[in-house]
Every structure is written in structure tokens, then in C-alpha cells.
Structure 1
Amino acid sequence: MHLGIPKKSDLKPRGRNRSILPLPASFRHTLRTYKPNKIIYIIIGLIIFINWLFNGYFTTFLLSSSSSSSSSSKRGFNHLTNQEALQTLQKNHGIYKNEIIVNTNYIFPPIEHAPLLRELTLDKLFKSKLNVDTQEKVYMYNEDEDLNDVNEIKDKSNKENPLDQARKAFKEHGHKVFRSSSSNKKSSPEVVLVTGVDFEQFELSHLTKIVQNRVDYAHANKYGLYVRWIQEFIPSLQEFNNDYKWAKLFIMRAAMHAFPNAKYFWYLDEDSLIMRNDIELISYILEPDSLDPIMLRDQPLIVPNGAIKTYKNVHAKDIKFVITQSKTGLNTDSFILQNEIYGKGLLEFWLDPLMRKYPTFVNSDEDALTHILQWHPVLLSKSTVVPGRTICSLHNSNTAGEDDDVLYYQDGDFVVNFKGCDVHRTCELVLDMYLKKMNPDE
């Protein structure tokens, strides 16, 4: 079973004298027919059995021993990680084939459109059809029709309806990508800060403060910024009825496409606030000398007593994925991916339909990630858990007696995460409280 653990009963013989693995018919025929020279034919039978057991690899090895080195390399991943393969130009694109090239490091939607988009509703932002089984609307991407809609809006009089303006901006935003000019290839930012914002859940004031916080930090450190409406990914989320939490991964993938030459991508959930613009991410945590002392080695992925733990002997220079934990497990509200083959591979594996449609993972991207790291040692060896207060200090209204806690926010911390504020409807209140901490004179 690919997902889950087989039961002991699955491995027991079904009959009194039956083997766990049934013998192939060719082997049984050999033992039954050739009684003289039994030893020779038993050896032949064993070869047939071993060949069957290993799906024909044994015979393949005997027949092609002269080219064994080349065939074995094809079964590995070395041919994908050599310099020739990594430097090959890949002609790919995001959700949309038609792209809008921009020369700014800051790609974010007009946040002032949030109330208008809420008024438009998804019905006027997407094409839809009715699912006959569930009687629910299914929203679809249709790039050609969307572009026709945009062109129709452009052809109208100069005095556009505000709703039309909001709809046009919503449809165009996902097409925007940053591309360095041929004369200035180094103009791409090294780090891109990524955030998804939800116009259905939060009011305009909250969204404005969050995006302005990201703009201020990116500007202070000369980073890129990539922000998308979560609702842009509704058709993808509906495919397997995934929770909105999964949108962060689609946004992260889109950011990597929009900024292909950036080295690091930091996803930070909208329920978080950057408290210090003076902390530069690379020197703070991403350089090996900075990362090595704070890596939580031999740390259970499922705290406190999970069986699978981070590796003891992994080196900081080999880390491609940095994440923190809450009291129960991995916290995907803040994580950093390096833009290279292992970082991209982890993201694609995480987003694979096999993960998104598995019943246990439909509502939890965190559980899916935990499964991946528990069952795939190569990806675990490229990942590390760091203390929560490095990039994701948790808000807690009961701070007394927790001065030495490695999870909860303390004055001077880099980022505060008010995870779960939507459940208690306190997001705006908590956000304003921390903004006052940042700017006590205002």
C-alpha cells in the first residue's frame, strides 16, 4: 500500500502449507518434472524464481552486464542533477500561457478591489458549470474567454465601471511575471516573499495592513514580493475539494515561475506580521554558518514522541527546505524553499493529486507534508526544522510564565503568527495590537 501501513494479517500465509509469496508455475514445473540431477535443476529453478521475484532484473543483468553501469545510472537520478541537465532551458509556463511581463520586483493585486470582488462573487469572476452529482457549481479556468472579457472591458468608454475594473484586474493578475532584461540579468531579487490574501474572509483594512507590511519589508531588504488572491485558485482547489490552506502551494509554485532566477522563496501566511524590517533573511538564517547552530537535529516530526525524526548528521549547506513546528507538528504558515531541483521536487510532490485527494490530507496540507517527510528519506535529508521563534513566533494571549518558551512570541522576535485567529474572529484585534508594538508612537 502506497499510503498507510500494511497489517500483519496481510503478510500471513493463507493456507496451511502456502508460502507468503506464491511460487511461479515455471519453478513448480521444474521441481515436479526433473527428478534426476535434482541439484542442477533446483539451481535452475531458483534462478527462475529469483528472476520472477525481482521483476526480471536478474536476467536483464545477465544479458546486459557489459552495459550495466549505463543502465543503472538511468534508473537513478544522477542524470537529472548533472550540470548539463540543470542548465537545459525548460519551455514551461504557469496556469496561463499568455504572460504579462513586468519589470517591478513587487507583484501584488490592487488590494482596494477587495470589497468589489466580494460584491462580484465567484460567479462573475469565473465560468462555471453544475456538477450533476453534488448539485454544486464547479468553477473553471478558460484563458481564451477570460482574455476576451478583458478586451471587452478595455473597449468600453474611458469611464469604466469600478466592478469591471476589479474584474479585469483579477483576471489579468495571474498572467504577470517578472523577467530580467537581457542587458541586466542580475536584476532579479535573490529572495522573494510570498503571501496569499483572502478577500472573502478579511476586510479591506486588514488586507491593506498585511500587504503594506510585506511591501515595507521587501523594500527594506531589496527582496521581491509576490501576492495573489486565494480565490484565483478556486478551480484547482475544487478539483479534490481541498481546503483553502492548500492555495499557498499553488501560489508558491506561481511565484517560482514569476521569479525564475530568485534563489529563495519565503511563504508567509496572511495571519502573520513581520515585526522587524532590519533582519535580512539570508544572513539571519539561510547561510550555512547561521543555519547550522539552530537546526533541530533528531527532532520528531510529530511532537513530542513521533518515531520519524530529522537526521542527526545532515549539513546546513545541503538544506533546501526550512520549516518550524507548533505544539503538535509542522507549521506551514511560514517556510522557506530554495529554488533548485530538490526544493522544486518537494513542492511538486506536495502538490501532486495523490496527496491532495487522499482523504486524510484534503483539509490539511500539513499532514500531507508530514507524510512526505516521514516516508521519503531523500526529501527529509534536504529539510530542517528550526525553532518556532526564528521565522514563526506564535501569538498567545497568556504569556505569563513562558519567557523561555521556544514557540511563543517575545518582544524583539522577527515574525509573529496569529494562527487560528479566524476561529475566534480576533484577527483584526490581534493585528492592530502588534502594529502598535511596532509603532508605539503612532
Structure 2
Amino acid sequence: MHFAYPPRKSSDPPPFRPRSTRFPLLRKARLRTIGLILVAILGLVWLLSGRSQEEVYQEHVPTGEPPIVIVTVIDPRSYSASYLRSVQENRRQYAEKHGYETFIVEAQDYDTKGYQQSWAKVMAMRHALSKYPNANYIWHLDQDAFIMEPSRKVEEVVADPRVLESLMIRDHPVVPPDSIIKTFKHLKGQEAAMIISQDNDGLVADSVLLKTGDWARYVTETWMDPLYMSYNFQKAERHALEHIVQWHPTVLSKIALVPQRTMASYAHTNLGEGYREGDFVVMLKGCTVAGESSCEKESQWYWQRFRELIVQM
């Protein structure tokens, strides 16, 4: 009987091939990915449910102390000391009667980067918002203006939501006479955060009431953005404000437009609605630094009348 010989092993074996590591590497990469996903999910769960209610951002609610801060920027380099004293005393005596605060600063306190010095007004408003976070409102009132009814509070004149509701001019061109951008129709008094009026040419940026809060800070920071400062608007910060209001619905949505004589009557009637006895504020817009039409000369009657009224109180 013949038996088959078992096959011989080749004397030339194939080269050694190490065991493939492809699958273990894939498994490691997959495990690492799964681990990262789990960490992300756990982090999201912690953010949504683990943080306390106090850690969630909430806008600061002012205490109303002081209720109103009157902001005025003066220019001692150009105007006489006697005139500027009357302006400051007008603000201070009025504020003392009602428990308000004054924030009177010099234009030179602010660096306007070589642009018009009037930009200091916007910077002062932003400064006052930071300095008095608990005030209900800041009221920017120009240097060339006088409060004429010391017995009346800002709240009863315009700031109280119910009073404001009765004064607001709705669905009206922001820039007269025929701007296609108009004030909101359905804005409520309590929702308004900037109270302003118009003259013959546009918004009166020299008497502005701002409700303190995030929106006011946003508006002032946008208003004094270097882009607008460098744009060389003809009337600097006034035209910049008109541009912002017309192009930014976030700003327009909280603008309350009121009749000019509410808080910005003009001594010169060719520029806007003229001052009448009993008006809250007179603005000497158009007065000059010196000469016959100087602000100091034009203010004398108004300053004397204010002192008479303050004594009567």
C-alpha cells in the first residue's frame, strides 16, 4: 500500500506581515469621539439646568435715587464766567427743589478726537449713565437753555408714562417735513426710552430725556461711534442722531416724539416754536458768544424771571 506524502512546506515562505492595527485605531478614535460628545452633552445639560436663577443675566432696575439727573456741558473757554454761573445756578436751584441731581461738566473734559466739540454732549450723556445707574432718567439740557418753571417736576411735564401717552406724536416723519421714516404708531408711554422734540429742521438734540438702562447705553455708544464722528455731518451730533434713528429700527422703536414747547421752546421763533410765558424750558438757539445777540444778553430776562419764580416757591 502506498501512502501519500504530506505536502512539503515551501522553502521560500511569504514575507512576515504584522497583524493589522486598523480596527483597534478606529475603535480608539470612535471611543474618543463618543467621549467628547458625552462631555458636550453633559456641559449643555449643566448650562440649562445646573446654573442658579441668579446667574442668568437680568437688566439692572434703577432705584430712582436720584429720579432725574440734569446733564449740561459748559464751555468756559468761549463764554463769560457770569453767564455760565447763571446757567449752572439755574440747574442746581431747580434740582434742589425736587431732589434731582446735576451733572455739569466742561466740554474740554472729553476727547473728541479733533472733531466738533459738540460731540462732548453725547459723551457726557454716556458718562452720566455710568455715574448714576440708579437714576430713572438723565436729561441732557444744552448750555444755551434755561428751565423756566421751577415748580414743575420733569415727571409731571413729560416723563410720567400717562402724561407721555397724551403728548406722543405718532406716525409722524422723524425729520420734517416729509421723511418716509415715521415714529411708531403703537408705542406705549412706559416703553419709550428717549423723549425728544422737533424744530423746523429736525430733532432737537439739545433737550433729550433718556431712560437709564441697557438701551440708553447702546444708543449713546452707537451715537458717538467713531464712524459717525468722522463722517463730517453738517450739524455733527444732531445729524448723526437723525441718521441713526432713521436707519436703526432698534433705536426708532423706543423714540417718543413730543411737541416742541413741551421741553424745548425757542427764544428765536424763526427756528421753531417760540417761547411763551408758562413754558417749561426756553432755548436760546442762535445766540452768539459775544455782541448784541450774545447768549448772556439774551438770557438776562429769562434768568431774572426764573429767580423771581424760585423765590416765590
- Scaled to the shorter chain, the TM-score interval is 0.7 to 0.9
Distance verdict in 2 for CA 1:392–1:87, change over 3 Å? closer
**What TM-score do you get using the length of structure 2 for normalisation?**
0.76
Any stretches of 5+ residues in structure 2 without a counterpart?
Answer: 1-40, 45-53
Aligned length: 257
Decide which of 266, 284, 287 is 1:394's aligned counterpart.
266
Secondary structure of 2:129's partner? helix
AA aligned opposite 2:216: G
Kindly provide the amino acid, as one letter, of the partner of residue 79 in structure 2: F
Q: How many Å apart are 1:186 and its aligned residue? A: 5.9
- From 218, 221, 232, give the equivalent of 2:95: 218
- Distance in 2 between residues matched to 1:200 and 1:83, nearest whole Å: 48
Distance apart, 1:324 and its partner CA: 1.0
Q: What is the alpha-carbon root mean square deviation over aligned residues?
A: 2.7
Shift of 1:309: 1.0
Q: Per-residue displacement from partner, 1:217-244 (whole Å, max 9, x unpaired)?
A: 10011001111011111xx21x2x3212
Q: Distance in 1 between matches of 2:115 and 2:147?
A: 28
Deviates more, 1:324-333 or 1:277-286: 277-286
Q: What is the Cα deviation at residue 187 of structure 1?
A: 8.5
How far did 1:259 drift? 1.2
CA deviations over 1:102-127 (Å, ceiling 9, x no partner): xxxxxxxxxxxxxxxxxxxxxxxxxx
Matches within 5 A, 1:2-401: 84-87=56-59, 188-233=65-110, 236-237=111-112, 239=113, 241-360=114-233, 363-396=235-268
Corresponding residue of 2:33: none
Q: Structure 1, residues 242-288: CA drift from partner, whole Å, max 9, x if none? A: 21211101111111122121120000001000011111112321121
Contact 1:269 1:334 (8 Å CA) reproduced:
yes
Amino acid at match of 1:341: D
SS of 2:205's partner is: strand
Quick one: which of 422, 425, 438 aligns to 2:288? Answer: 422
Q: Which amino acid aligns with 1:346?
A: V
Structure 1 distance, partners of 2:269, 2:272, is: 16
- Cα distance in 2 for partners of 1:304, 1:332 equals 17
CA change 1:83–1:312 in 2 (3 A) is farther
Q: Distance in 2 between matches of 1:440 and 1:338?
A: 31
Cα distance 1:285–1:352, how it changes in 2: closer, same or farther (>3 A)? same
Unpaired runs of 5+ residues, structure 1, are 1-66, 71-81, 89-184, 399-404
Aligned residue number for residue 432 of structure 1: 300
1:412 corresponds to which residue?
Answer: 278
- The verdict on how the C-alpha distance between 1:85 and 1:207 changes in structure 2, with shifts beyond 3 A counting, is same
- Structure 1 residues 289 and 197, CA, compared in 2 at 3 Å: closer, same or farther? same
Cα contact 1:299–1:310 (8 A) shared by 2: yes
AA of the residue aligned to 2:266: L
Q: What percentage of aligned pairs have identical amino acids?
A: 32
Q: Deviations over 1:336-375 (max 9, x none)?
A: 11111112111111011121111336x5111111111101
Asked if the contact 1:394–1:408 (Cα under 8 Å) also holds between the matched residues in 2, the reply is: yes
Tell me: CA distance 1:83–1:218, structure 2 relative to 1, closer, same or farther (3 Å).
farther
Distance 2:218 2:261 in 1: 27
Counterpart CA distance in 2 for 1:328 and 1:397 is 13
Structure number with higher relative contact order (C-alpha < 8 Å, ≥ 6 residues apart): 2
In 2, Cα distance between the equivalents of 1:413 and 1:406? 14
Distance 2:176 2:59 in 1: 40
Q: TM-score, normalised by structure 1?
A: 0.54
**Larger C-alpha radius of gyration, 1 or 2?**
2
Contact kept in structure 2, 1:196 and 1:228, CA below 8 Å: yes
- AA aligned to 2:295 is C
2:71 maps to a residue whose letter is V
- Give SS of 2:91's match: helix
TM-aligned CA deviation for residue 436 of structure 1: 3.0
| Change in 2 beyond 3 A, CA 1:83/1:299 | farther
CA contact (8 A) 1:387 1:406 kept: no
